[in-house]
Structure 1
Amino acid sequence: MNTFNRPEITDEKIELIRRLIEENPNMGRSQLSVKLCEIWGWRGQNGTLKDMSCRDMLRALDKARKIVLPEPKKATSKAGTIMKIKHLVHDETPITGNLKDLRPLRVEIVSSKDKLVEFKSYIDQYHYLGFDRYIGENMAYMVYSCDGAVLACLLFGSAAWSCRDRDKYIGWGKEQRKHKLNYLTNNTRFLVLPFVRVPHLASHILSLITKQISADWEHKYGHPVLLLETFVEISRFRGICYRAANWIRVGSTTGRGRNGGHHNAILPIKDIYLYPLDANYKSKLCE
């Protein structure tokens, strides 16, 4: 088996997962994901088990009621366990008015421990998905008004491994994608705080981010990003701010999860938006 491939989730594999859970009642989610990766030979390019991706897949199957996962274990200091987010008390004084009254906005990378705690608190309390974890290479931003009020939080992480409409739009093949995927990043969270109601703010923030994220990425990881992606859940949102900021809708997901491998839709359908940061991104990604 090619260890870089995501396993195709068939009925037989779902039955295997069910059997492992039933026969090992004391096995936690982390142990289960490691065991499955070993069985399927699911490893990354560096040879390490893809247990985090496997755990994402298991949660998606559990949400779709294909399996019943054991309850998460209490948080500990060990890697891979459930992380408890500290919820801070935030100033929720309404911020309204015109965008010009808040400008110039200040976009800051979240780097200090204190800011990271604050960032996680905002995302976990106010974003409908909460804060899960960082996925691979990542960049977190907090956005402030000219007088220092927090307005928004954004998180960028690893791009989805497989996405039919995105991959067709880029025009790359599996081998090109495997070697160039790190030149994409996924806007996994975008939160304008719920007590901030200012027209055109969200699209303005997106425009500011696109002007600096590639340089920020190169400074942190030693390489730029050429293309941004995001996935907008169509049952909840219309993607207006992304379209206003000139992101390109290239299609919709199949509902099979960020790592693919499922026959049937198990997740909400999402619109796919891309934003090129380099005029020659297609040729560079398809080299």
Structure 2
Amino acid sequence: MGLEQMGVGIPDKLCGRPFDAADLERIRAEIVAAEPPQRSEIARRVCRALEWTDALGRPKLMSARVGLLRLHRAGLIELPAPSRGNGNGRGLLRGPDRWPEPVAVVGTVGDLGGLRLEAVLDASASRLWNGLIARYHYLGYTPLPGAQLRYLVHCEGGVLGAIGFGAAAWKVAVRDRWIGWDAACREAHLGRVLNNARFLLLPWVRVKHLASKVLALAAARIPKDFAARYGERVVLLETFVERPRFAGTCYRAANWHYLGETTGRGKCDRTHQAALPRKGVYVYPLTAGFRAALGVVR
């Protein structure tokens, strides 16, 4: 008896795209045909078979790998063992070529020469970004979901920190009410919202107003960088600030809008018990017409 007949349902959506039994069978066929039989090769084959591409026609490998892992964990497919790590984004990380020197940086943001964001575009920069987040960010490192942009914060004296943006949260009550979209509208346009999932200033950096300045630099860069990389326009940024650990001061200083708090239940909660920390929800529109771009008609 197949898993579908045993009560394991086939999702009607997979990472935001329509999904059905025929898609599942195509994925199973690609797993069998993959050579070499590795998860990365399966993801490439699945993107080709399902025409899972971005606006520029490039395979959406990250989304495909996330979707395949979900199907694997649901027992609907069987993936080969991961070739590296443990398959959940928490495998051993290769460290950067060189760690920044822990030399105190103090003063005000105006004292910093050459302050800039450098996009993570090669393996060396990626290892440094991953390593800094793994070592110094309180949430640690996990791969950012979906379409993403990562930056290292630099000045003339070296690296000051790291900031990263990935796919937006699927459903957030206060955000969705503020935008004014319904479920269908959100599903169609969520890709135009980007989540600030990680923001780190290194522990020896004590520079007044630096955090809000970095947020402003990122907001100025993201529309152009995202369009160049993914061929789509992003119009709204979001982030979640854990309470009471952080006050969200730098987001307020950078003119992000505070919308309220999450429920604290998390997306997988089944008992409606508030088991997770509540988080303040902040958003930053990148254009005055962001609601129209998100499909909201007023």
- TM-score of Structure 1 vs Structure 2, range by shorter chain: 0.7 to 0.9
The alignment yields a C-alpha RMSD, in angstroms, of 2.8
Q: Normalising by the residue count of structure 1, what TM-score does the alignment of the two structures yield?
A: 0.74
Q: Hey, what's the Cα distance between the residues in 1 that align with 2:285 and 2:135?
A: 31
2:227 is matched with 218
Q: Hey, what's the Cα distance between the residues in 2 that align with 1:256 and 1:187?
A: 20
Deviation string, structure 1 residues 160-210 (Cα, Å, up to 9, x no partner): 000000000000000000010000000000001111000000001101111
Q: 1:55 to 1:232 in 2, by over 3 A?
A: farther
Instruction: Report the Cα offset of residue 53 of structure 1.
Output: 7.6
Q: Percent identity?
A: 38
Task: Kindly indicate whether structure 1 or structure 2 has the higher relative contact order, using CA contacts under 8 Å at least 6 residues apart.
Answer: 1
Question: Aligned match of 1:80 in 47, 69, 87?
Answer: 87
Matches of residues 61-210 of structure 1 in structure 2 within 5 Å? 76-77=83-84, 80-81=87-88, 82-88=90-96, 89-145=99-155, 147-210=156-219
2:244 is matched with 235
Instruction: Report the Cα offset of residue 116 of structure 1.
Output: 0.4
Q: Which runs of 5+ in 2 are unaligned?
A: 25-63, 71-80
Instruction: Report the Cα offset of residue 267 of structure 1.
Output: 1.5
Deviation string, structure 1 residues 2-51 (Cα, Å, up to 9, x no partner): xxxxxxxxxxxxxxxxxxxxxxxxxxxxxxxx99xx82323411537899
SS in 1 for 2:211: helix
Q: 1:211 to 1:260 in 2, by over 3 A?
A: farther
Q: 1:126 to 1:242 in 2, by over 3 A?
A: same
SS in 2 for 1:97: strand
Q: 1:121 to 1:183 in 2, by over 3 A?
A: same
Q: Hey, what's the Cα distance between the residues in 2 that align with 1:265 and 1:40?
A: 27
CA contact (8 A) 1:232 1:270 kept: yes
2:9 is matched with 40
Deviation string, structure 1 residues 115-151 (Cα, Å, up to 9, x no partner): 1001111000000001111201011001111x14111
Aligned residue-pair number? 235
Q: Hey, what's the Cα distance between the residues in 1 that align with 2:113 and 2:283?
A: 26
Q: Hey, what's the Cα distance between the residues in 1 that align with 2:110 and 2:117?
A: 16
2:287 is matched with 278
Q: 1:135 to 1:260 in 2, by over 3 A?
A: farther
Question: Aligned match of 1:267 in 253, 256, 276?
Answer: 276
Q: Hey, what's the Cα distance between the residues in 1 that align with 2:84 and 2:68?
A: 21
SS in 1 for 2:8: helix
Instruction: Report the Cα offset of residue 256 of structure 1.
Output: 2.5
State which drifts further: 268-277 or 78-87. Answer: 78-87
Q: 1:54 to 1:241 in 2, by over 3 A?
A: farther
The one-letter code of the counterpart of 1:125 is R
CA contact (8 A) 1:87 1:125 kept: no
Instruction: Report the Cα offset of residue 284 of structure 1.
Output: 1.9
CA contact (8 A) 1:253 1:269 kept: yes
CA contact (8 A) 1:123 1:153 kept: yes
Instruction: Report the Cα offset of residue 224 of structure 1.
Output: 1.4
Q: Hey, what's the Cα distance between the residues in 2 that align with 1:260 and 1:105?
A: 42
